[in-house]
Structure 1
Amino acid sequence: LWQFPPNMKFDEARFSHFLELLPKDRKAARACAQGCAERLKDNGGTAIKGNARLRHAVEIRHESFLCERFIKLLRKHRVALVVADSAGKWPYVEDVTADFVYMRLHGDVELYSSGYTARALKRWKQRIQAWAAGGQVEDAQLVVAKAPPKRASRDVYCYFDNDQKVHAPYDARRLLEKLKLDYHLLTEPGVEPEVAL
């Protein structure tokens, strides 16, 4: 996740260069980490094993990124544009730009503080299901009207960041229940759930 500050405006040449520099796999990340500051070498960043492909997602916070040139750049580099629900504080868009969707839910009404209503979670459930099935919801808020080609499926990552009043774990659990993905969750500390075979 690459998160940009609210005062950072879109600069096509600068951002294109940044995307070119991103490591595409673990081998490239390991090579990049070799040049890090000496004080960072023992924190595990250079102990990268294997050579799997890396995925990158960017979270924007300035309106200037809401342009077709930016979306095309992300699609070219297969970098996801974070779907960030920030209670209206920062730009909200749902353009799919990679083979996965990365969501950050910062708060339904109040940034970092408010929980999500049942109605709001139902809306997120519908979006997750559409994205996971390789599609897009009809009422998507898009910068580029033309959606990417439909896929058979797409990975979806959803993070709740509305944790100032401890809503995040409860909202995450309620959303998992709506998606019927809660079967393996503990309901009591130390008590494993019964799994029907």
Structure 2
Amino acid sequence: MQKPASYEKWYQETPDDFVFSLKAPRYATNRKVLAEAGDTIERFFASGVLLLKQKLGPINWQFAPTKKFDADDFEAFLKLLPASIEGQKLRHAVEVRHDSFRTPELIALARKYKVAVVLAADSEYPQIADITAPFVYARIMGTSEKQAKGYSTKALDAWAERARQLAAGITPDDLETCAEPPAKAATRDVYLYVISGFKERNPAAAMALLKKL
């Protein structure tokens, strides 16, 4: 949780086309009954988040690796995520990290509420590359100390091509999915982050991907 002054400062200090992605407080997701997260979610949005205005990008609701999929409770949680507040549209992404979420039921729910399922790649977490929202949120976690740019040239080329396909609304053939692709491909914003792995190499990998794209 941040103070309103922090959000306002971030807004003022960044270029006009900069977009922030926020990670929601764990108090909303790290709980036995997700349907009871309403108060925490409301407090989060009342904390000054909207001061980012048009620079507010996707909000990542990250779940503990031990949290298992319960369709009814998970849908109750998705219902709590506002599509907009005071006329400002919001984008939500759920980062689920237990194998029980690898089911078509999750994909159906995410598409129903237009929430992105985070594409976690090159990691120990389950890879779910299904497109479920008007945008894609990917987190790649395989950087290595042995590579000057974190990833090999071949791996960077592969991720650049996957990003292009995802932006065109196409799910790359070499990524793992749980359900059938959307009936119609449509262009989408792609938010791709290089995290975890050998962290010192992550900026180099991100810049290398930007150059390729």
Deviations 1:165-188 (A, max 9, x none): 411110000001111xxxxxxxxx
Aligned to 2:94: 58
Deviations 1:23-48 (A, max 9, x none): 11122xxxxxxxxxxxxxxxxxxxxx
The question of whether the paired residues in 2 share the 8 Å contact of 1:106 and 1:162 is answered with yes
When normalised by structure 1's length, the TM-score is 0.71
Q: Distance in 1 between matches of 2:144 and 2:201?
A: 12
Aligned to 1:162: 196
Give the alignment of 1:122-161 within 5 angstroms: 122-144=157-179, 146-161=180-195
Change (3 A) 1:150 1:108: farther
TM-fit CA distance, 1:7: 0.6
Aligned to 1:13: 72
Which of residues 130, 138, 152 is equivalent to 1:103?
Answer: 138
Match of 1:96, SS state, is coil
* Unmatched 5+ stretches in structure 1: 28-50, 180-197
Higher percent of residues as helix: 2
Aligned to 1:22: 81
Deviations 1:97-149 (A, max 9, x none): 11110011122469xxx9221111111111110111122223331111x2003
Question: Post-superposition, which runs of at least 4 consecutive aligned residues in structure 1 deviate over 4 A?
Answer: none
Q: Distance in 1 between matches of 2:139 and 2:169?
A: 19
When normalised by structure 2's length, the TM-score is 0.66
Aligned to 2:127: 92
Deviations 1:41-83 (A, max 9, x none): xxxxxxxxxx221010011110000011111000000000111
Aligned positions, number? 151
Change (3 A) 1:65 1:52: same
Match of 1:166, SS state, is helix
Change (3 A) 1:138 1:147: same
The question of whether the paired residues in 2 share the 8 Å contact of 1:115 and 1:162 is answered with no
* Unmatched 5+ stretches in structure 2: 1-59
Work out whether 1:119 is the aligned partner of 2:178. no
> What's the C-alpha RMSD, in Å, of the aligned pairs?
1.9
Change (3 A) 1:96 1:109: farther
Aligned to 1:190: none
Higher percent of residues as strand: 2
